């Protein structure tokens, strides 16, 4: 973002959602000169803050306690289809970026990217664009045409969310409560996940989640 663009954003609000205080502190220092910054350490708090203040951009970690990041994206977009959400994650796997964009996010940036990349990503999302760095964009393009080598690519964002929560050790009843859906829906989706991944039991799904290092 150039100086003029930054000046234009000075009255805009960013909602920063991350459960690590040190990450929020670093981002706050980076953004404070250009934006009004709100903070939340959970998706549940973020939803309340968004409803109350309608910030211009949400910077959202995928790996959150309680409700996960993908579910938070869906709920934010359900409440406001125009919500501009930028995923800020430690995971550089293009699978997570693809699922985040499918859920409604407008960009994906990793915590290994340079600080100025975060400012560029915010500017892109504010301008109505979609942000991916060149490497991630290229990998997503290759992934879309390549044979499906990663079995998780066959999962929908909702199925990936449930698999992630299973890997965290949540029971089906807890997953249903966290996602705001019925126990029967969770059970049916777990059956679909098993069919797609060739798993025989919930224990197998937990193992797969852990082996693929899903956010947990």
Predicted pLDDT at 72 = 92
Same domain, 112 and 166: no
Same domain, 88 and 118: yes
Predicted pLDDT at 147 = 52
Domain-ending residue, one of 92, 117, 144: 144
Predicted pLDDT at 132 = 93
Same domain, 139 and 166: no
Same domain, 126 and 23: yes
Predicted pLDDT at 2 = 47
Predicted pLDDT at 46 = 96
Predicted pLDDT at 99 = 85
Q: How far apart are CA 122 and CA 58, in angstroms?
A: 9
Domain-ending residue, one of 144, 159, 193: 144
Q: Is residue 216 part of a domain?
A: no
Predicted pLDDT at 210 = 81
Predicted pLDDT at 6 = 46
Same domain, 126 and 47: yes
What is the domain range of residue 87?
3-144
Predicted pLDDT at 28 = 94
Same domain, 69 and 135: yes
Q: Is residue 42 part of a domain?
A: yes
Same domain, 177 and 192: yes
Domain count, the chain: 2
Same domain, 136 and 198: no
Find the CATH number of the domain harbouring 191: 1.10.10.10
Q: What is the pLDDT of residues 149-190, one digit of tens each?
A: 577 888 888 888 899 888 888 889 989 988 888 999 999 999
Domain-ending residue, one of 144, 173, 200: 144
Same domain, 139 and 201: no
Same domain, 128 and 30: yes
Same domain, 48 and 65: yes
What parts of the chain have a pLDDT lower than 70?
1-10, 143-149, 215-216
Q: Is residue 66 part of a domain?
A: yes
Find the CATH number of the domain harbouring 50: 3.40.50.2300
Structure tokens at 77: 């977009």
Structure tokens at 126: 């504010």
Alpha helices (H) in the chain, listed in sequence order? 3-8, 21-31, 43-53, 69-79, 94-103, 115-126, 134-145, 157-167, 172-179, 183-197, 202-211
pTM value > 0.85:
no
Same domain, 138 and 155: no
Q: How far apart are CA 176 and CA 169, in angstroms?
A: 13
Exposure string over 185-198, b if 16+ CB within 10 A, otherwise e: ebeebbeebbebbe
């Amino acid at each position: 973002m150039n100086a003029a663009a930054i000046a234009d954003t000075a009255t805009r609000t960013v909602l920063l959602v991350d459960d690590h205080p040190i990450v929020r502190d670093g981002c706050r220092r980076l953004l404070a000169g250009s934006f009004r910054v709100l903070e939340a350490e959970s998706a549940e708090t973020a939803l309340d803050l968004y409803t109350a203040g309608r910030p211009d951009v949400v910077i959202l970690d995928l790996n959150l306690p309680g409700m996960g990041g993908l579910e938070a994206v869906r709920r934010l977009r359900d409440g406001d289809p125009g919500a501009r959400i930028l995923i800020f994650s430690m995971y550089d796997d293009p699978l997570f970026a693809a699922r985040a964009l499918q859920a409604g996010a407008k960009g994906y940036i990793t915590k290994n990217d340079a600080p100025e990349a975060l400012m560029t990503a915010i500017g892109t999302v504010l301008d109505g664009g979609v942000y991916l760095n060149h490497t991630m964009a290229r990998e997503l393009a290759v992934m879309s045409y390549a044979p499906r080598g990663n079995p998780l690519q066959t999962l929908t964002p909702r199925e990936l969310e449930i698999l992630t929560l299973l890997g965290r050790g949540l029971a089906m009843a807890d997953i249903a409560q966290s996602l705001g859906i019925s126990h029967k829906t969770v059970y049916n989706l777990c059956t679909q996940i098993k069919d797609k991944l060739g798993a025989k039991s919930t224990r197998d799904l937990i193992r797969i989640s852990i082996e693929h290092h899903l956010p947990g």
